[in-house]
Amino acid sequence: MGLFRKLLGREPVWTQRWNIYSGDTGDQLAMYNVDLGAVDAAPVAKLPLRVDVEFSYAGDGASGMPDDTELREIRSLEDAVDKAMRALGGAYVGRVLSANTGRLTGYLPESASAPALPTQVALQPQLSVTPDPAWSRVLDELAPDAWQLNMIEDIQVVQALESHGDRLDAEREVEHVGYFPDQERAEASAEALRATGFAVTVGPDDEGGFELQAVRSDPVEPPGIHSVTWQVRAAVEGHGGVYDGWGCAVQIS
């Protein structure tokens, strides 16, 4: 939130941006479904009460993730929680699944009553309401870290390619772009990327800084593409630049 909005007590604009991403809790796989708009807006002063709905499921085996039937039940419960929160002037912000347990989280106005949940025999949800004006659950546990944000950005490009019938496993030239305030830092980043097989050019951009373009042939299929973009991002941001993403031509055959 901008400084003037904080000083004036104004709430930031909240536009829903739901994303699914993976992570871990301890040594267990975790899957998140979170409204990143809520992460950007947090904390929202008019919604200081946190609602958590916790449940367990049998799972599909060693992964700790639900099977298809359980996932449908979880989505049904999620829809019910979302509707109940909105009916009370609140908002549902996300879920995490890990180690055969799940938690749905939302926030309510201070005067709101606890939301009513449908009877879910299989999941047996347990509801709790906790004061959390700082939105600590969102900022400390649900918000994606740098690796997860990188993965989310990759998936957005991958989904656009898939919509055109792309063969993600096909190698093709992939172009990465970064921006720097000066040529010295751009060239230092370029040298690091050339050492890992990228063809790199550096030149002035339209705003008085310098643009880096790094090209290498790679497949773009997850999860491999995440390691590639993370490597480029590290080389760009490690030398004071801003990584601006990647693109490539669609490969159909």
Domain ranges of the chain: 3-142, 146-248
pLDDT digits (tens, 9 = 90+) for 102-129: 999 999 999 999 998 887 668 989 999 9
pLDDT digits (tens, 9 = 90+) for 21-74: 999 887 899 999 999 999 999 999 999 999 999 999 999 888 999 999 999 999
pLDDT digits (tens, 9 = 90+) for 217-226: 999 999 999 9
| Alpha-helical regions (H) of 48-139 | 68-87, 136
Res. 98: pLDDT tops 90: yes
Give the pLDDT band (50/70/90) at residue 1.
very low
Report yes or no on whether pTM surpasses 0.85.
no
In degrees rounded to 5, what are phi and psi of residue 188?
Answer: -65, -40
Give the pLDDT band (50/70/90) at residue 2.
very low
pLDDT digits (tens, 9 = 90+) for 145-201: 999 999 999 999 999 999 999 999 999 999 999 999 999 999 999 999 999 999 999
Give the pLDDT band (50/70/90) at residue 79.
very high
CATH tag for 146-248 (out of 3.30.70.970, 3.30.70.600, 2.60.40.10, 1.20.120.1770): 3.30.70.970
Distances (CA, A) of 192 to 151, 236, 240, 248: 22, 9, 13, 22
- Residue 61 pLDDT: 85
Res. 8: pLDDT tops 60: no
Q: How many CB atoms lie within 10 A of CB 184?
A: 12
CA-CA distance, 92 to 81, in Å (whole number)?
A: 7
DSSP string, 41-52: H-S-TT--EEEE
Coil vs helix vs strand at 26: coil
- Residue 25 pLDDT: 80
- Report which DSSP code applies to 138: I
- Residue 11 pLDDT: 58
